[in-house]
Every structure is written in C-alpha cells, then in structure tokens.
Structure 1
Amino acid sequence: MAADLPRLPPPPPALHDWALLLDVDGTLLDFADRPEAVRVPAELLDTLSRLHIALDGAVALVSGRPLAQLDALFAPLQLPAAGLHGLELREGGEWASTGQPPPGLALVRDAAQALVDKFDGALLEDKGTTLALHWRGSPAAEEPLHEFATSALIGLPGYHLQAGKYVFELRPDGADKGHAILALMSHPQFLDRRPVFVGDDLTDEQGFVAINAHGGHSVLVGQRTPTAAHHALHDPDATRTWLRDVALRLAPSGPVNG
C-alpha cells in the first residue's frame, strides 16, 4: 500500500469516458446499526440515474451485499453490480452466481448465531455463501467473534476471514473486489473507459490496486491508513456531493433531482 500521504479529492471528468464503480456502505450510504436500517437518499437515486445515462451505462455497484439487497435498496434502479465481493455479478442484464455454500457452513452459521445471541447489539448476517459477524453495536463482542471466525475456518476449506469496519466475514477464496472490478471492466459498456473506484473499507483495497494498475482513479472515503488509494473524500456525504457535481458536469441540463 502507498505511504501515508495527504490525498486530494478526485479530479473532475474531462470527457464522458469514465466508468464509475462504487462501493455502497460507508461510501454511498451512511452506516447504520443494522445493515437493513441504511437509508438511500432520493437525490442519490436521481444522481446515479443521471450518471448511468451520461456514461452510457458504465456505472456499477461493487458491494459485499447480495445483489437482491442492492436492487431492493436502489429500486427502481437496477445497475450493473458485483454482489458478495464478486460472487454474484450482473454485467449487463444477466445475473451470474458462482459457487454454492459448503455443507459445513450451516453448522458454522448455527454456532455463530448462538455466540452472537450472547452479546446485545451484535449481529450475524447470513448472505448465503458468506457469513458476516457484526460487532458495531457491541464492542465487547469483537474479540470473541474474531476468535470464533478464526477457528471456524478449520471446518471451511476454501474460505478465508476478511476483517472490515466492525465486522468479520467468512467468505470463499478468490472473491474480492479487485477480481469483481476486472470482470465488470471486461464488459462492453465498461471496456476502454477510465475506471474510477470509490470505497471506504479494507475490503476495497484490492479494488484500489486493480484500478491503479489500469490507470484509473482510486478514491478512499474516510481517513483510514495505510491505503493504496490515490485520492480521498471525507465521508459518504462528500461522496454524494462529488457524484452530484460529476453528474452536473456531464449532463448540465436540468437539475439532478428534477
């Protein structure tokens, strides 16, 4: 990762040749105590819709959430997307899913739920092929959940532990946002464009590395260090404002939310 240096906001687009790849939680949306409690501002939907049109469809969501959740959150928009860190992929109209949960995952899920139930505010999020153990609402649960997740890998060959903001996630090997972004960038509507990836978490670092290798703009949301990102935005509100400004620059006629 790059050294801890001051980072400027991303530059404005000079042409309509960008491809926008956007993390969701902590990047587009403010965090909530529970994943289902996040709120999608109406103006953000309008901004994303305008960008989708201005960039000829080259706007994608890249998230640890399943695609079904993304579609529900951003309805009526249905953007190209990588869900579950790339285990689910919708490049155009098709929705592809790779892999099925291993038999041992159900046992791990039941044990994880029993442990989470001991800590008020902790949460187990079952994503089908991945499990996320959240401790945002229960700091005391951090160490027990980490110990559990580490030991659970013994019964889950082909899985690894990914730490994130107040979460430990058990997910299949080979599923990361770098691979997901490369898959999206190979699709015709993204091909030969300058990729711009905006993310906030440790899980976004593989995406920053992939973007940098392809001459794109990598944008960290927040102050976390170290990071491979070359640019930075302060918080999700700054991300939404920046995207709104990009939308106005690319499609200046009429208000973004009009």
Structure 2
Amino acid sequence: MSAARAAWFLDFDGTLVELAETPDQVRVEAEVVDMVRDLERASHGAVALISGRRIEDIDRLFAPLRLPVAGQHGAERRGASGRLHRYPANRRGIGTMHGMLRAWVERRPGLLLENKGSTLAVHYRRAPELAEPLGTFMLELVARMHGSYCLQGGKRVFEIRPSGMDKGSAVLEFMREPPFIGRMPVFVGDDISDESALAAVLNLGGTAVKVGDGDSIAPWRLQGVADVHAWIRSSIAARSSEEEAG
C-alpha cells in the first residue's frame, strides 16, 4: 500500500511500541518518531494516533513531533488544525468513582490506578489473580452512573470511559476533517479497545489490521510491533517509488 492514498490511524501501546509492565516505563525510540514523521510527510499529514493515553502523554513521548491525536479512547481529540475537542466529563462522577477505586486498590498490592481526567484505568499486570474481582467491582461502580459510563477491558487493564466515546467514534470524527476526508482509512491496533476503530474503517471500505493473537473483526493481521514498523516503512517506500516514477 502506498502511504499517499491512505488516512492512517495508529494505536500506540502494543502497536507502535511494545507493552511494558507499567505505562510510565514505555519509551519511544528516535527511529520510531522518525518513521512516524516520514509517514506523516508521505501521506501529506493524514496520520493520527488513537490511544487510551492522555494527549499530553502522547505529545511528551513523541516530542518534538506533534500529530493529530485522540486520547482517552476518544474522550479528547486534537485535529490537524490544532483544535482540541474534549468530552464534557462528569467530574463529580469521575471523582466519586476514583475515590472508591483508590480505596479498593490501596488494599490490594500489585494494582496501578490512573485518573486520566475523563477516564479511569486500573492495570493488573502485576496481580493477574485480581482480574475477576476487580472487573466485578468496576462494573458495580459503572452501574451507579446510570449509563453515562461503561467498562472497557484490555490487556491486563480495565478502564471506565464515557459511554458512546470510543476509538471508532474518534476515527469517524477525523474522517470528516482535512486532510483525512476522502482518503481510504487504515487502522492498526492490538487490543480489545481497538475493535471499534477496526469496525469503523471496515464500514468505510478501509483496511483494518489486527496486531498479535486473539479474535478480531480485522481481516488482516501482523504478528507484532516489528512487523508494524516494517509494513509502515514499506508503505513509505512505495510512496517514494511513485514520486521517482512520476
């Protein structure tokens, strides 16, 4: 695939970089930043990162590169114009759930709680035996919010996010804006939370790529992060060949 004709939507953790034991242990190597910058140039700016992380965290990891990005599963989004869109979070509800989660987590070593502002995440990679009781407790918290929030599973993580906001909705919003509009969307992701975005690009006639093992709606698959890098670089090279031929 040539990079020039696509609108590229890329998950971050587990797709562009390997997963780490905790989110703050992840680093982005300079060659990965350079690769994404080259893809951005080859696609005339039609590259966006779609992540569960906060936008400010993505910006810090990719500095000095500043891209269109959706953070917190679409609860915040920055378009190519630089305009920032934020879901009007229920701060009181998030605060209540955060307080109850913090008390629950503090009594159980090995869990890591993140308050991202519009979403809450609890990582249980260091305590996998707590997955079932943790999921049950977080479902109980969500039920108290009367449908305004939902529970999202992932790789050794549970997240509470606003209902109706997901990675798929973020992709659809980007596809209504330049420079993405009119292009063939491509989404690459590795986790359960990416399935909504994979479905969105398929519904638009685009290319959906699942990274790693596990069930997925995606008809295409890459085995790991190294394969993602190789595929992106081959797409950039195809664009360079087109320019030389033209």
**One-letter code of the match for 1:232?**
R
2:9 alignment partner in structure 1: 21
Give runs of aligned pairs for residues 215-230 of structure 1, distance below 5 A. 215-225=205-215, 227-230=216-219
Structure 1 runs (4+) greater than 4 angstroms displaced: none
Distance 2:239 2:105 in 1: 47
One of 15, 37, 45 as aligned partner of 2:25: 37
Q: Does 1:111 align with 2:67?
A: no
Distance 2:117 2:102 in 1: 14
Q: Which runs of 5+ in 1 are unaligned?
A: 1-11, 254-258
Distance 1:101 1:201 in 2: 26
Distance 1:122 1:21 in 2: 30
- 3-state DSSP of counterpart to 1:16: helix
Q: Percent identity?
A: 41
One of 157, 165, 169 as aligned partner of 1:179: 169
One of 128, 145, 150 as aligned partner of 1:139: 128
- 3-state DSSP of counterpart to 1:60: strand
Name whichever structure is richer in helix by fraction: 2
Tell me the matched-pair count. 240
- Mapped contact 1:30–1:39 kept (Cα < 8 A): no
Pairwise CA distance, 1:178: 1.1
- 3-state DSSP of counterpart to 2:77: strand
One of 63, 67, 70 as aligned partner of 1:75: 63
TM-score between the two structures when normalised by the length of structure 1? 0.89
**CA deviations over 1:114-149 (Å, ceiling 9, x no partner):** 222233321101111110111111112212211110
Distance 1:16 1:102 in 2: 41
**One-letter code of the match for 1:180?**
A
2:74 alignment partner in structure 1: 86
Q: Which runs of 5+ in 2 are unaligned?
A: none
Pairwise CA distance, 1:252: 5.8
Which 10-residue stretch deviates more, 183-192 or 149-158? 149-158
Q: CA RMSD in A?
A: 1.5
**One-letter code of the match for 1:79?**
L
1:165 alignment partner in structure 2: 155
**One-letter code of the match for 1:189?**
P
Give runs of aligned pairs for residues 206-245 of structure 1, distance below 5 A. 206-225=196-215, 227-245=216-234
2:192 alignment partner in structure 1: 202
One of 104, 111, 123 as aligned partner of 1:122: 111
**One-letter code of the match for 2:110?**
G
Distance 2:204 2:136 in 1: 37
